[in-house]
């Protein structure tokens, strides 16, 4: 019987071990987990969707195919390495997560019971599939208590133009004699308003906010807690780590009347306006925006307000940023959209052939000046045949763009610099406009030519035919540029210069090291701060003496004098007696009279500590200042401070 029991126990242990091993192996099997943050939403709302590749090393993002009923937007990834243990009615369950989680935001495109398709993932050459999930999307109830509208001004723009998007929230006024009261002032909790473009991360790519979301919303903040809770923004309480109160925002409302349903009704209108600047052409969608909350709509028999739960949506709005038309675009188009002026200035107006001249074109106005392109002067009639041109530079500051060129006249026939043209696209009239600068008068004289008899120097003789002026005006009358200077190499100059630089470097390095050592020396730091510290103590002490506080005043005066000498000597102030302070001052070659004056002052201070009387300190407050300055002067002469 005993043998059978032992065998039975061994079999049970073996079976339990096998089950544990198989369970562990099963737990480590790669899998695709799918989760929705909610299983029921209103049409226009979004829902969080997470796909987790569990027990997978170095995963690749899953493939989301067949999501035709949803707008899908990635919300980032997260590394998972956690174990969750739950015990319910004595039953223990364990969930292990080790892998990568991929988060998405799903926005349903229609109402009904929708299926979130199963995602697919490739793991080590094997195809893994998650499970499909059900999401119920509810059509909002027809109601006229709260209305939401999205509008754009203007409805279409060109790149660089300003675009303003307005979310209008219309709330029915309160019933009866409360009709003049703001309906948001009676809310028990602020309605939740979702404005996607109030988050800078959700602004359509291709549009640039005029101001960041924080600055824009801060202008609409309601510090009394009335208004709308926008995008779930909260303010953590200073008294609780976990309490978070929603931030409320409320534009200044105005009363309006709308013809809705069975007639005209009174509403309070709240407008959230945010402006953007278009950066490039394309179609950009704003919305949908949603609002969920409880609003007062009636009164009961006792006169108390009664409310209804309201869910309202604003349909998305698409705005077109139009491309500048190709038809009719001039060859001298500067790439500017807006309204501009063009002017030119030339310096100097009088020069010789070959002299450098600076031409500046000034473009002023509103629009895309950052994208302005410099005109090609070489293609301007009358420029290439009379001037050598060099590439221009561009500088944009505010509403002004400057193009700067360097020119050299090629002949003396030039009497004016010709007009320069440039075109921009006028957004108000939607057409190209060409601008012209005024011709600039200038006077160009011939470069002087030296007679051959005035040329001094060695070398082979030249005939007068070899002396001429270059068209560019460079090296005039010189046929060989090497004659302008001695081009022979002198290595001794380079070696001498290198030696001087090395010596200078050594001196600077030594000086730097010396300054660093002095700056890091505690005694030196203490001496540098000694005078300022002693002055503060002396000022405080003399003030106490004048107010009649003899004991504390004499303590501060004595401390100022003794502390100053202790700092200069580099010894501890604590325990230094008056006699030792006088001895230290004498060692610093102080005049005997100064040492004697210091001794009398310190003795007066010591006596006042034990028998404080105003009589013994008469004159101390007046004399100690002069004594202090004399001691400081002596210590500085001895380089102790």
Peptide bond into 154 cis (omega under 30): yes
Helix (H, G, I), strand (E, B) or coil at 294: strand
Contact 442, 346 (CB under 8 A): yes
Segments in the chain below pLDDT 70 = 1-27, 82-97, 236-243, 449-489, 515-521, 575, 609-619
Residue (of 386, 392, 378) closest to 354 by Cα position: 386
Token look-up 């604590």 returns: 574
At 303, give phi and psi (nearest 5°).
85, 5
CATH assignment, 333-445: 2.60.40
Q: Domain 522-637 adopts which CATH fold?
A: 1.20.120
**Which two three-digit tokens encode residue 499?**
């030696």
Token look-up 């106005």 returns: 365
Q: Would you list the DSSP string of 453-471?
A: GG----SS---GGG----T
Pick the CATH number of 26-138 from 2.60.40.10, 3.30.70.520, 3.40.50.2020, 2.40.50.840: 2.60.40.10
Per-residue DSSP letter, 445: E
Range(s) for CATH 2.60.40.10 in the chain?
A: 26-138
Give residue 517's Cα distance to chain centre: 39
Token look-up 């001498």 returns: 496
Q: Which pLDDT value is given to residue 2? A: 45
**Which two three-digit tokens encode residue 535?**
């002055």
What distance in Å separates the CA atoms of residue 88 and residue 90, rounded to the nearest whole number? 5
Residue (of 584, 585, 569, 570) closest to 634 by Cα position: 585
Could you give the count of Cα atoms lying within 13 Å of 578 in the half-sphere of its Cβ?
A: 16
Neighbours of 94 (CB within 10 A): 11
What distance in Å separates the CA atoms of residue 274 and residue 220, rounded to the nearest whole number? 11
Q: Which pLDDT value is given to residue 460? A: 52
Q: Which residues does 460 contact at the CB level (< 8 Å), separation at least 6? A: none
Residues in the chain: 641
What distance in Å separates the CA atoms of residue 27 and residue 42, rounded to the nearest whole number? 37
Residue (of 525, 641, 529, 638) closest to 591 by Cα position: 638
Residue (of 612, 603, 495) closest to 544 by Cα position: 612
Helix (H, G, I), strand (E, B) or coil at 549: coil
What distance in Å separates the CA atoms of residue 352 and residue 408, rounded to the nearest whole number? 9
Beta-strand pair 421-426/333-347: parallel
pLDDT for 298-342, tens place per residue?
888 888 888 889 999 999 999 999 988 989 999 999 988 888 999
What distance in Å separates the CA atoms of residue 216 and residue 212, rounded to the nearest whole number? 6
Neighbours of 248 (CB within 10 A): 24
Neighbours of 286 (CB within 10 A): 26
Pick the CATH number of 146-321 from 2.60.40, 1.10.150, 3.40.50, 2.40.50: 2.60.40
What distance in Å separates the CA atoms of residue 150 and residue 70, rounded to the nearest whole number? 21
Helices (H), 490-549: 491-520, 522-546
Contact 464, 479 (CB under 8 A): no
Helix (H, G, I), strand (E, B) or coil at 617: coil
What distance in Å separates the CA atoms of residue 435 and residue 432, rounded to the nearest whole number? 10
The gap between the terminal CA atoms of the chain, to the nearest Å, is 101
Q: CB-based burial of residue 207 (10 Å sphere; 0-12 exposed, 13-18 middle, 19+ buried)?
A: buried
Strand partners, 610: none
Q: Which pLDDT value is given to residue 622? A: 72
Residue (of 593, 600, 607) closest to 624 by Cα position: 600
Q: CB-based burial of residue 243 (10 Å sphere; 0-12 exposed, 13-18 middle, 19+ buried)?
A: exposed
Contact 30, 128 (CB under 8 A): yes
Strand partners, 337: 425
Q: Residue 622: enclosing H or E segment and its boundaries?
A: helix 620-637
């Amino acid at each position: 019987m005993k043998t059978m029991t032992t065998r039975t126990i061994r079999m049970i242990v073996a079976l339990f071990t096998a089950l544990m091993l198989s369970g562990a192996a099963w737990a480590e099997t790669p899998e695709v987990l799918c989760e929705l943050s909610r299983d029921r939403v209103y049409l226009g709302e979004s829902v969080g969707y997470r796909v987790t590749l569990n027990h997978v090393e170095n995963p690749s993002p899953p493939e989301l195919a067949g999501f035709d009923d949803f707008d899908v937007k990635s919300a980032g990834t997260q590394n998972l390495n956690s174990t969750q243990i739950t015990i319910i009615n004595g039953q223990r369950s364990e969930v292990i997560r080790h892998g990568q989680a991929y988060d998405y935001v799903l926005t349903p495109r229609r109402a009904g019971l929708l299926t979130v398709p199963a995602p697919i993932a490739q793991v080590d050459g094997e195809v893994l599939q998650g499970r499909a999930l059900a999401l119920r999307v509810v059509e909002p109830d027809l109601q006229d208590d709260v209305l939401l509208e999205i509008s754009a001004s203007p409805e279409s723009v060109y790149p660089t133009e300003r675009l303003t998007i307005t979310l209008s929230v219309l709330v029915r006024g309160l019933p009866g004699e409360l009709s003049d009261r703001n309906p948001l002032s009676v809310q028990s909790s602020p309605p939740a308003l979702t404005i996607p473009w109030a988050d800078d991360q959700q602004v359509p790519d291709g549009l640039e906010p005029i101001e960041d979301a924080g600055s824009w919303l801060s202008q609409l903040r309601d510090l009394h807690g009335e208004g709308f809770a926008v995008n779930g923004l909260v303010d953590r309480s200073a008294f609780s780590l976990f309490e978070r109160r929603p931030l409320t925002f409320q534009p200044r409302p105005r009363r309006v009347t709308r013809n809705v349903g069975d007639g005209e009704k009174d509403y309070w209108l709240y407008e959230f306006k945010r402006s953007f600047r278009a950066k490039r052409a394309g179609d950009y969608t704003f919305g949908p925006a949603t609002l969920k909350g409880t609003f007062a709509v009636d009164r009961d028999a006792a006169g108390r307000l009664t409310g209804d739960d309201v869910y309202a949506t604003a349909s998305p709005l698409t705005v077109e940023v139009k491309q500048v038309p190709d038809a009719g675009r001039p060859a001298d188009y500067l790439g500017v959209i807006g309204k501009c002026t063009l002017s030119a200035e030339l310096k100097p107006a009088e020069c010789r052939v070959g002299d450098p001249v600076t031409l500046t074109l000034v473009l002023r106005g509103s629009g895309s000046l950052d994208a302005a392109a410099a005109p090609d002067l070489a293609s301007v009639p009358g420029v290439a045949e009379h001037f050598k041109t060099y590439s221009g530079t561009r500088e944009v500051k505010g509403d002004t763009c400057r193009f700067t060129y360097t020119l050299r006249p090629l002949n003396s026939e030039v009497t004016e610099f010709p007009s320069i043209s440039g075109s921009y696209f006028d957004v108000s009239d939607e057409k190209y406009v060409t601008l012209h600068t005024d011709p600039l008068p200038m006077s160009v004289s011939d470069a002087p030519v030296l007679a051959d008899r005035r040329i001094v120097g060695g070398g082979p003789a030249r005939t007068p035919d070899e002396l001429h002026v270059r068209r560019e005006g460079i090296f005039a009358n010189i046929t060989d540029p090497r004659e302008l200077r001695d081009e022979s190499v002198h290595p001794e100059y380079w070696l001498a210069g290198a030696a001087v630089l090395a010596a200078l470097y050594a001196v600077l390095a030594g000086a730097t090291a010396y300054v660093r050592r002095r700056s890091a020396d505690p005694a030196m730091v203490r001496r540098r701060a000694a005078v300022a510290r002693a002055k503060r103590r002396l000022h405080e002490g003399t003030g106490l003496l004048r107010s009649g506080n003899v004991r504390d005043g004499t303590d501060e005066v004595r401390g100022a004098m003794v502390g100053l000498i202790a700092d200069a000597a580099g010894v501890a102030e604590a325990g230094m007696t008056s006699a030792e302070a006088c001895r230290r001052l004498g060692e610093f070659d102080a005049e005997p009279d100064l040492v004697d004056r210091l001794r009398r002052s310190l003795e007066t201070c010591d006596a006042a500590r034990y028998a404080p009387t105003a009589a013994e300190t008469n004159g101390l407050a007046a004399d100690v200042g002069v004594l202090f300055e004399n001691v400081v002067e002596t210590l500085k002469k001895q380089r102790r401070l």
